[in-house]
Amino acid sequence: MKTSRNDQCPCGSGKKYKNCCQEKRFQDNDGNKQIRWIISGAIGFFMVLIFWGIFQSFTTDRPEMEAYKCDNPQCNQIHYRQVTQP
């Protein structure tokens, strides 16, 4: 059932619908939508920054390591050394 703008508001306030919940609902929808867009945009932006920072720290700061066997035939340990880039 549709409430017309000049009917009494179904919330029981005694005001006309256009001066009560219709107006509030309209303002809520309009304002919240913009705020939500801004917040989700900001969160998305920071998430990208954080992931980019993690990605950068993995690719630039940490040298790549490789396992190798040493010359000692008695040695059963696995050694790690930095991969030398050509």
Q: Which residues bind Zn ion (CB under 5 A)?
A: 9, 11, 13, 20-21, 70, 72, 75
Nearer to Zn ion, 10 or 53 (CB): 10
> How wide is the angle at C-alpha 21 spanned by C-alphas 20 and 22, nearest 5°?
100
What is the nearest approach in angstroms of Zn ion to the Cβ of residue 61?
A: 27
In the complex, minimum distance from the CB of residue 36 to Zn ion, in angstroms, rounded to a whole number = 23
Taking alpha carbons only, the member of 5, 47, 53 closest to residue 25 is 5
Q: Supply 22's token pair.
A: 């219709």
Pick the closer one to Zn ion by CB: 59 or 72. 72
SS3 assignment, position 66: strand
